[in-house]
A and B are shown apart, each in its own frame.
Chain A
Amino acid sequence: MAQRRQLRVGKEWMYAGDAEKLLREAMRIQEEEDGRHGGHKQSFIRKYIFSIDHKWIGIQYGMTALCFLLFGFSLMLLMRLQLGWPGHAFSLLKVLGESRAPGGILLPEAYNQLGAMHGTIMVFLAIVPLAVGAFGNYLVPLMIGAPDMAFPRLNMASYWMYLPGGLVMLASFAATGGTAQSGWTSYPPLSDIATEGQTWWLVGMIFLITSSLLGSVNFIVTIIQLRAKGMTWMRLPFFVWAQFVTSFLLLLAFPPLEAAGVLQLMDRVAHTSFFLPSGLVVSGTKLAVAGGGNPLLWQHLFWFLAHPEVYVLILPAMGIIGEIIANNTRKPLWGYKSLVGAVTFLGFMSFVVWAHHMFMTGMGTVISAFFQTTTMIISIPSVIILTALLMSLWGGSIRFNVPMLFALAFLPMFGIGGLTGLPLGLAATDIHLHDTYYVIGHFHYVVAPGTIFAMFAGIYYWFPKITGKRMNEFLGKVHFWGSFVAINGIFMPMFAQGLAGVSRRLYDGGLQYHHAKEIAAATNPFMSMSAWTLLVFQAPFIVNFFWSMAFGKKAEANFWHATTLEWAATTSPPLAHGNFAVIPVVHRGPYEYSTPEYTEADYLPQHHVIGAPPATSGGGMLTAAAVAQREA
């Protein structure tokens, strides 16, 4: 095959200026055409509020979720004040009002409210919307070469179910008796007889479940139907696979919780007793209900969702890490097929492990043995994924930029989170560890320095794509190193506390128990200080985020020299109207870095035709060239 000569001027290739002009012209024509068709420009409301463009919806999700992330974190900061220095008056706690913290001393009821809402907000309003709603929405159509999601209106509806759900949760703080206080798990019978806030919680959850249902149908249809020509299943970026499996989990695991939510709502509003056993005595009087219900029923229905939910939290994070590692090691992701196989198997298995959360409920040793076995089996694909990501580093020429630092930190952090889960999955060791701080340490290692670090990695990585601007590396590094140290300061001591038998729901952090007193007093103030330090180190991120958006240096279209379509075949930010001027045709897998046969650059984009003008220019040129073609 004859190679055509390629001319470059400096780092840019030759027709850069011409292409740029063409692109401008093309965009102008497009706008003109839109104006002719619609008779007027898109209204402000359609463009920015009830938008049906997946990119803008993704941004809406992202900004809302980041606000909730900060809010959920701040609830925990207030709790950590009480845990670090129990019974101490803090003037800051006075913001909660006299009914919750008289004189700045947190009341136990208010502590429970903060705990329940921290969990609820972090899981359902912050991480999932950020991982799926924001990253998934923005990137999946771009990565598979689709002009938008399959159902743009449903996509809009999905965000507009999520936001009211979140607002209902926030409004519940104003309910009589405060917000929900039965933990994020809302176990009955306590949640059945709790104050009004619990009803708000249930209503909020029904909104959120509906939102994620609409979203997951949309994702699955988009990935199955809208893949560009040549984008076969085994050429999908790993991130898309992760989102695909995640969507199935959301689709099939959430409805049982919706059923459970409806039943609990009936218990609270229509005075049924689905979850209330006969002869329940509350505050010395027998509860006037029909009885005959079963609190374990709630736990089964809840964990049937909530265990797959754990994988909803982690799979998109793994997808993000996969993209960033491949890009910054400049070599293909190690074991792509095993990764895909593992993530699919993980999805299936996640439906049959739920009762390992319930070993201590007395459901019987036979059932425990079954769920213990499935739990051990599900650890295998997780280990495969982590190993493949780790192996990908071997022999790579690693670029230590901010997204890569977060991605590299994810590996050991998720490793700690995952491995500490094994003793919890074995029924015998779980007897000792159940409901202690060990459990909190375990899942926070998975979700906080695991998933949240992956989210940060993703934000730093795709920021240039979304805004067309670069983020500040120095501030990013300060953010990373500060967060990395502080976050370990919070969660590492939890393992020691848990092994010492400190229960997770104690208002004073364990001081009232003889066996827990010593370690609680020794570690809790340090952990609380670490938590506040973590807050301080989020400041560089927030500053960097907004400052770069406004004044950041311009970033070229394919800023990281990546191979996947969202970078290589679009402008930064992508065209508002249909993402690509012409939908690209895919010729190869997603991770062709440092391909020996291709000498023009160390990356070979998925849609690039060898011999055609080179890939280095990024999306702008290619788009322009394509538009020029269309014009002709």
Chain B
Amino acid sequence: MDAHAHAAEHEIEIPYNVYPRPDTGLYNGKLGIWLFLASEVMLFGALFSSYILLRTGSVNWPRGYTFLNIPLATANTFILIASSVTVVLAWANLRLGNLKLGRIFIAITIACALLFLVNKGIEYHHEFVEGRSPATNNFMALYFTLTGLHGLHVIGGIVVFAYMAGPGAKMWHQDRNRYTNRIEIAGLYWHFVDLVWIFLFPTLYLL
């Protein structure tokens, strides 16, 4: 990516891009991702509120646990939690200056995310085979909308991590701290994606 390197040299230096501003204790990207996550909370918050409103207004609400695959979803929960651990390990190793181990942990994170999606795909397939689609009822509509939107977030995470472990890792040799920061930021996002699932799982599968 020669063009990218050229463009970077053209840029003026933005203060606190890598090192924290003393009075706020944050570098720009970290504050940025927290704000972004705040807006994500509002997005999923609105969807969960819709769930509550539709469910309380319903006469006959289908129970997810009577037909959804709880063991597979439980496995998926643990897979995502594991990936949250590996992403922290990746960051910790980068902080210690170990790019190789850092990349391995990023790769494991990606593998977990992919496994999660495969399991989700199996579940979706099963629902469609059984004749349940978003149009079936409001529970299924919410099920597909919420898990679908969450799935898109998982895919987004995979894209970011794949870039960081692959071509993006070149930055390590130019600016270690900046690269490590990027993994930290991506990791914060990834924790959020996990957290959403932690709420989705009981809401859809257990309640």
Contacts and interface: CB of A to CB of B under 8 A. Distances in A.
Given A217-B36, A262-B145, A225 B135 contact: no
Nearest to B57: A294
A38 interface: yes
Given A38-B6, A263-B50, A255 B42 contact: yes
A259 interface: yes
A292 interface: yes
B9 A226 contact: no
Contacts of B12: 147-148, 577-578
Given A224-B24, A255-B46, A256-B42, A270 B134 contact: yes
A407 interface: no
B14 A224 contact: no
B141 interface: yes
A274 B138 contact: yes
B16 interface: yes
Leading 3 A-B pairs by shortest Cβ distance: A272-B141, A256-B46, A255-B43
Contact of B141 (A146, A254, A274): A274
Given A46-B7, A266-B134, A292-B54, A225 B31 contact: yes
Interface string B137-151: 110010011000100
A342 to B, nearest CB: 23
Sort chain B's interface into a size bin.
35 or more
A152 interface: yes
A160 interface: no
Contact of A213 (B39, B133, B136): B39
Contacts of B36: 213, 217
Contacts of B17: 150
Interface of B: 6-7, 9-17, 21, 24, 26, 28, 31-32, 35-36, 38-40, 42-47, 50, 53-54, 57-58, 133-138, 141, 144-145, 149
30 contacts: A38-B6, A38-B9, A42-B10, A152-B14, A213-B39, A220-B31, A221-B35, A225-B28, A226-B15, A251-B38, A253-B42, A256-B43, A256-B45, A260-B46, A262-B145, A262-B149, A263-B50, A263-B145, A270-B133, A270-B134, A270-B141, A271-B134, A272-B135, A274-B138, A274-B141, A292-B54, A292-B57, A292-B138, A294-B54, A297-B53
A226 B43 contact: no
B140 to A, nearest CB: 8
A147 B15 CA distance: 8
B54 A150 contact: no
Contacts of B38: 251-252
Interface string A202-246: 000000000001001110110011100000000000000000000
A27 B133 CA distance: 64
Contacts of A34: 10
A107 interface: no
A152 B11 contact: yes
A430 interface: no
Binding site secondary structure of chain A: helix
A253 B10 CA distance: 36
Contacts of A148: 12, 14
B43 A221 contact: no
Contacts of A260: 46
Nearest to B42: A255
A217 B35 contact: yes
B47 A259 contact: yes
Contacts of A147: 12-15
B32 A290 contact: no
Nearest to B43: A255
